[in-house]
A and B are shown apart, each in its own frame.
Chain A
């Protein structure tokens, strides 16, 4: 399989990465080169094989559903690019 330019732009938007018009063809080539590289996997017989979900057989651990921390607003916001009154600030998202 290979991707066309329109697909490259669609993937870029899904990934929320702005891709310039000049950059798109280069990305297309690189992505197609990687897709060529993984093409051989189509020839592997995977009939009846379970997909790996855990490298070792172990049951998912669950912790008690209790509050383990909190009241650390300063720590949570310490690295925020923009903050106000204990909140992260983002551009308006609702008109």
Chain B
């Protein structure tokens, strides 16, 4: 493995600027690593020619002294982002072969800043899943393994390809999306850093929609600084997304290393679940101690509606999904199966094109929105969402700057281990992350330790709206205090 792939994004950026190596050399190192990592199934499509073409252009700009913030930096793109001229599938059979004639705003922002693209990363179909096992293109295998075991471990989901690729050094950073935990849970499972920014911080335009009031783009990266660098390029106002916020984007990297002295950290008692593993409890306590040692003030808080967040999410998200996914009808793009009439065309196309989990969620969503049930389910869930957000509002009004929680209730599990008999078992993965989407808040996950069987565990920081800088400062404080987690050595080559 080339030493270049071991660099962080910030180190690579600085090495390019000081001409220690060229953008072509850097990109070739990653292209080679990607080509040798097929076992992990992290990429659906590889685009080495595109990466090299952009890298050559980057070298020219660097030579002329015109380097942009991400000049020549090779990234992976979750295959939920439309990329002009490159197949975009949402990991679904129904979109297989779809080649967008347009570019998503967030990826366009990354290319504007000079980044290169290595390929499109695998995910759960339509971002519906917590293990990357629902992809039409097969599951992603985590680069992590349990101690003394070669059982295949899931990277989490839905941004499983993004997290696995970053952890296996198959890109310097990756785009991801988060509707209920899809950036943060895979980051926690793979010892990487992921941030779901405040709703509205990044444009959703050109990202395949799952649940529009919850979806948000964000990066997965090797460390907190890299995540901050990426978010600065990804974020910003976009007239094409009416929910994107017209507010200046701070230089997030400047927040990395800022003092956490005097910050008030809320510890919500409702996140202490019955039967929570001792390992997770201990990790959380260590996180509290690290922040306290850094000068933060620790305060016990209450977020009483926490336990309703996950059930309410499983009404709101499928409802919005059933509406968003109505567009896949076999008429304008993607798969088409024909029958005796147009209804047959719709029904056969959608039955074959959507996988099991997606069909199930569309059905649930259709049911809760159907005549006679709308008030009992959807409207009630939206009211409960108001209550969940009010809990956070009250905590912040009382002076809390950020909230510290575990990222996941367990470390990563093996393929096929969860959710086979009961879909709800898989849903419980998102118990700590989903509240953040329901309230539209920013959430950052940072690696904080290893489980007894040697798998990464993460802590989550939840912030005030648009105060991502506070999360980067606190996240880096945890990163510095926590034991260093060495990424796995490539067994997959």
Complex CA–CA separation, A5 to B379 (angstroms): 25
Within 8 Å by CB of A27, from B308, B311, B363, lies B363
Q: Is B245's CB within 8 Å of the partner chain A? A: yes
Within the assembled complex, what's the spacing in Å between the Cα atoms of A30 and B333?
A: 30
A-chain residues with CB within 8 Å of residue B348 when the two chains form the complex: 18
Q: Do A14 and B422 form a contact, CB below 8 Å, given A41-B381, A61-B242?
A: no
Encode A48-76 as 1/0 by CB contact (under 8 A) with B: 01111111101011010000000010011
Binary contact track B375-387/A, C-beta < 8 Å → 1, others 0: 0110111111111
Q: Do A18 and B347 touch (CB < 8 A)?
A: yes
Q: How far is the CA of A38 from the CA of B243 in the complex (A)?
A: 28
- How far apart sit A65 and B11, CA to CA, in the bound complex (Å)? 47
Q: Which residues of B contact A54 (CB under 8 A)?
A: 213, 243
Instruction: Collect the chain A residues with CB atoms within 8 Å of residue B423's CB.
Output: 30, 33-34
Asked if B342 and A90 sit within 8 Å, CB to CB, the answer is: yes
A19–B347 alpha-carbon span in the complex (Å) = 9
Residue in chain A with minimal CB distance to B100: A79
A6 CB–B CB distance under 8 Å: no
- In angstroms, Cα B386 to Cα A53, docked, is 9
Whether the Cβ atoms of B387 and A88 lie closer than 8 Å is no
A91 within 8 A of partner (CB)? yes
The reply to whether B354 and A17 contact each other, CB–CB distance below 8 Å, is yes
One digit per residue, 1 when the CB lies within 8 angstroms of any chain A CB and 0 when it does not, for chain B 315-348 equals 1000000100010011111111010111111111
Nearest opposing residue in chain B for A82, CB measure: B336
Residues A38 and B383 in contact, CB atoms below 8 Å apart: no
Number of contacting residues on A, CB 8 A?
51
* Residues of chain B within 8 A of A44, CB atoms compared: 305, 308, 380, 384, 387
Among B329, B340, B360, point to the contact of A30 (Cβ < 8 A): B360
Taking A41-B308, A81-B330, A90-B331 as contacts, is the C-beta distance between A33 and B422 under 8 angstroms?
yes
**Cα distance A89–B322 in the bound complex, in angstroms:** 25
- Decide: A3 near B367, CB < 8 A? Known: A37-B424, A40-B308, A80-B332: yes
Residue-wise interface mask of B (232-245) relative to A, using a CB-CB cutoff of 8 A (1 in contact, 0 not): 00000001001101
| List of B residues within 8 angstroms of A30 by Cβ | 360, 423
A81 to B97, CA, bound (A): 10
CA distance A18 to B329 in the complex (A): 13
B465 CB–A CB distance under 8 Å: yes
Q: Roughly how many angstroms separate A37 CA and B322 CA in the complex, as a whole number? A: 19
The contact of A16 among B98, B200, B343, B465, by CB within 8 Å, is B343
- A92→B341 CA distance, assembly (Å): 7
**B439 in contact (CB, < 8 A):** yes
Contact residues in B for A88 (Cβ distance below 8 Å): 331-332
Q: Per-position contact with B for A11-22: 1 when CB-CB < 8 Å, else 0?
A: 111111111000
**CB atoms of B363 and A31 under 8 A apart:** yes
A41 to B340, CA, bound (A): 43
Give every chain B residue within 8 A of A3 (Cβ-Cβ): 367
Q: Would you call B359 and A17 a contact (CB within 8 A)?
A: yes
Cβ contacts B79-120/A at 8 Å (1 or 0 each): 000000000000000000111011000000000000000000
Q: Distance in Å from the Cβ of A65 to the closest Cβ of chain B?
A: 14
Query: B residues within 8 A CB of A46?
Result: 380, 383-384, 387
Report if A16-B380 is in contact (Cβ < 8 Å); known contacts: A79-B332, A91-B341. no
What chain A residues lie within 8 Å of B239 (beta carbons)? 61, 63
Measured in the bound complex, the distance between the Cα atoms of B246 and A51 in whole Å is: 25
Contact in complex: A79, B345 (CB < 8 Å): no
When distances are taken between beta carbons in the complex, the residues of chain A under 8 Å from B363 are 8, 11-12, 15, 17, 27, 31
Q: Knowing A56-B245, A56-B440 are in contact, say whether A14-B465 is a contact too (CB < 8 A).
A: no
Question: Considering the chains assembled together, what is the distance between the CA atoms of A42 and B199 in angstroms?
Answer: 28
Which A residue sits closest to B101, measured CB to CB? A75
A56 to B346, CA, bound (A): 36
In chain B, residues 405-445, which have Cβ atoms closer than 8 Å to a Cβ of chain A? 422-424, 427, 439-440
CB pair A81 B347 closer than 8 Å: no
Shortest Cβ distance from B292 into chain A, in angstroms?
31
- A15 CA / B315 CA spacing, docked (Å): 16
Inter-chain CA distance A17–B366, complex, in Å, is 11
Which residue of chain A has the shortest Cβ distance to B216 in the bound complex? A55
Contact B350 A18 (CB under 8 A): yes
> A49's contact among B322, B341, B364, B387, by CB below 8 Å, is which?
B387
The 16 listed contacts between A and B (C-beta, < 8 Å) are A11-B367, A15-B366, A17-B351, A30-B360, A31-B363, A38-B312, A40-B307, A41-B380, A44-B305, A46-B380, A49-B387, A50-B386, A55-B199, A55-B389, A75-B101, A82-B336
Lowest 3 CB-CB distances: which A-B pairs, in order?
Answer: A55-B440, A51-B382, A79-B333
Enumerate chain A interface residues (CB-CB to B < 8 A). 1, 3, 7-8, 11-19, 27, 30-31, 33-34, 37-42, 44, 46, 49-56, 58, 60-61, 63, 72, 75-76, 78-82, 88, 90-93
Q: A49-B386, A90-B331 are in contact. List 14 more A-B contacts (CB 8 A).
A: A3-B367, A11-B363, A11-B366, A15-B363, A15-B366, A16-B350, A27-B363, A37-B424, A52-B383, A56-B199, A56-B200, A56-B440, A56-B465, A81-B330
